[in-house]
């Protein structure tokens, strides 16, 4: 492996690693040599098995980001130097009918928890005088409005903004903060869209690559942003969308 992409000796926490994009990121980071702590509100048995079958090292840490402060004590006694904030939820409803409970649930998980997890990570690294990297998972809806997902759109706009703000504050102190904005990826979150023939076709018609994205497409981007190859990249939101935003 090229040393530019070698993550040997690094330890990564991947939130929401039980399935989909989080699972693919965990497997990709382990394949690049990192030891991976897979976290989620549900067990990550399939992810752990895939990592170990490939010869990687992984462990499980149960975290439920319905509590935005769930990770406040995670980094004090663990030498984690890569953080991938992937955990997130979505609620769909017309904006005229959207409830306060659904608004709060999404904002708490997708935005508030992300910020305070980043804060806890940075405090631990600063106290030890160490460097690290953060990769936040944003969205196409960090740039677009979407339909019937008001709290999700607000949260993902916020993720993009926080990524830039934290990069401004922490770049000179040794922490890289960047984000990935996935396009339409084959995950549980997009199942309803893919099951609707008309909606699915309209989406595919706009994607220059001509296909839905796969979770492993995001895994490679995460390895890049965590690697020495990205050592002069700060505050970037990297679109991995098959060309969607270029149309």
* Beta-carbon count within 10 A of 89 CB: 17
Closest CA to 34 of 17, 15, 14, 63: 14
What residues pair up with 135 in beta bridges, in sequence order? 84, 178
Tokens (6 digits) for 193: 């869209």
* Helix residue ranges per DSSP H, the chain: 20-31, 45-53, 100-107, 113-128, 150-170, 191-194, 197-206, 215-226
Given the residues 65, 152, 184, 212, the one annotated as active site: 152
Any catalytic annotation for residue 152? yes
Angle of the 20-31 helix axis to the 45-53 helix axis, nearest 10: 30
Count, in order, helices (H) and strands (E) of the chain: 8, 7
The one-character DSSP state at 99 is -
Nearest to 204 by CA among 236, 240, 242, 168: 242
Tokens of 35: 């030891």
Whether the Cβ atoms of residue 134 and residue 121 lie closer than 8 Å to each other: yes
| Residues identified as active-site | 152
């Amino acid at each position: 492996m090229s040393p530019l992409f070698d993550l040997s000796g690094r330890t990564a926490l991947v939130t929401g690693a039980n399935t989909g994009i989080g699972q693919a990121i965990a497997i990709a980071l382990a394949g690049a040599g990192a030891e991976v702590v897979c976290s989620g509100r549900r067990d990550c048995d399939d992810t752990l098995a895939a990592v170990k079958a490939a010869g990687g090292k992984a462990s499980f840490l149960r975290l439920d980001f319905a509590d935005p402060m769930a990770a406040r004590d995670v980094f004090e006694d663990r030498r984690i130097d890569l953080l991938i904030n992937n955990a997130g939820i979505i609620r769909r409803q017309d904006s005229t009918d959207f409830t306060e409970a659904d608004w709060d649930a999404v904002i708490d998980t997708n935005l508030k928890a992300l910020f305070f997890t980043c804060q806890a990570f940075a405090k631990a690294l600063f106290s030890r005088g160490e460097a690290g990297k953060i990769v936040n998972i944003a969205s196409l809806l960090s740039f677009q409005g979407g339909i019937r997902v008001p709290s999700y759109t607000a949260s993902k706009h916020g993720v993009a903004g926080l990524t830039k703000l934290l990069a401004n504050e922490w770049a000179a102190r040794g922490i890289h903060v960047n984000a990935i904005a996935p396009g339409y990826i084959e995950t549980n979150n997009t199942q309803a869209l893919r099951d609707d023939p008309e909606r699915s076709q309209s989406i595919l018609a706009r994607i220059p690559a001509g296909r839905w994205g796969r979770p492993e497409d995001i895994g490679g981007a995460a390895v890049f942003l965590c690697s020495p190859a990205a050592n002069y990249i700060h505050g970037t939101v990297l679109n991995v969308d098959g060309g969607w935003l270029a149309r």
